[in-house]
Amino acid sequence: DVKVTQSSRYLVKRTGEKVFLECVQDMDHENMFWYRQDPGLGLRLIYFSYDVKMKEKGDIPEGYSVSREKKERFSLILESASTNQTSMYLCASSSQGGGYTFGSGTRLTVV
Amino acid sequence: AQSVTQPDIHITVSEGASLELRCNYSYGATPYLFWYVQSPGQGLQLLLKYFSGDTLVQGIKGFEAEFKRSQSSFNLRKPSVHWSDAAEYFCAVGVNSGTYKYIFGTGTRLKVLA
């Protein structure tokens, strides 16, 4: 069964910490995405990548960065976590023009 | 600008009743359209998708959706709802602006009464 795996289901971090959210896919997909999901706002695209070492900003990139050193792995980095980054983070991957496969999500709480 | 609107934030139906969830999009070209379902604490699961061809699309779990270009709509339907269908439903449009990505609606939360 094809999978997108997010390394943590729940995380609690302190304000100012550097936070890494990891995502791995086993489908050899070119494209990978990071979204955050907040009640009433739906899913908002943070960053995406269409190839190794390539990245593009989504709609809300401020306060985040990403890394894609290998095709199967796409990491989201919060350089200095803040309370307004408390959210559910969803990773997805897709082949070109294809549907997304989502991970189970990471619920991050910043205190 | 591209956008997706799901006008109903919450919908409540009785088990066995029919269901229709509304989705309207704004996109200049022929859209790729999707419906996803999210159970509590889970990621999103693809229910169905429309790329081209027959405008009535069948999906998993007994769901279907109809693409109406004249109304810029892609409404999701199910003839008889089961209690396990209680979840949040997201409509999305795939846009190609150099690279291919999705725009999601804000979701509709479905409650099913026994």
pLDDT value at B90 more than 80: yes
pLDDT, tens digit, 9 for 90 and up, residues B37-87: 999 878 899 999 998 888 999 999 999 999 999 999 999 999 999 999 999
- CATH superfamily of domain region A4-110: Immunoglobulins (2.60.40.10)
Please report how many Cα atoms fall inside a 13 Å half-sphere around the Cα of residue B73, on the Cβ side: 14
Question: How many Cβ atoms from other residues are within 10 Å of residue A2's Cβ?
Answer: 10
Contact B45 A43 (CB under 8 A): no
Chain A neighbors of B106, CB-CB under 8 A: 40-42
| Cα–Cα dist A52/B30, whole Å | 29
A105 touching B, CB under 8 A?
Answer: yes
Predicted confidence band of residue A97 (pLDDT cuts 50, 70, 90): low
**Quick one: which H or E segment has residue B96?**
strand B87-96
pLDDT, tens digit, 9 for 90 and up, residues A33-52: 999 999 888 899 999 998 89
Phi/psi for A23 (5° steps) reads -140, 130
Chain B neighbors of A99, CB-CB under 8 A: 34, 46, 49
Q: Rounded mean pLDDT of A74-98?
A: 92
A5 touching B, CB under 8 A?
Answer: no
pLDDT value at B2 more than 90: no
Contact A31 B100 (CB under 8 A): yes
Residues of B at the A interface (Cβ-Cβ below 8 Å)? 9, 32, 34, 36, 41-46, 49, 90, 94, 99-107
A95 residue type, one letter:
S
**C-alpha torsion A62→A64→A65→A71, nearest 10:** -120
Q: Is A108 helix (H, G, I), strand (E, B) or coil?
A: strand
Is the Cβ–Cβ distance between A63 and A99 less than 8 Å? no
Q: Tell the residue number behind the tokens 């409404």, with chain if given.
A: B75
| CB within 8 Å of B70: residues ≥ 6 apart | none
Ordered by start, the domain boundaries in chain A are 4-110
Contact B106 A40 (CB under 8 A): yes
Which structure tokens are listed for A46? 């943070």
Domains of chain B: residue spans and CATH? 3-113 (2.60.40.10)
| Cα–Cα dist B37/B50, whole Å | 16
Contact A43 B90 (CB under 8 A): yes
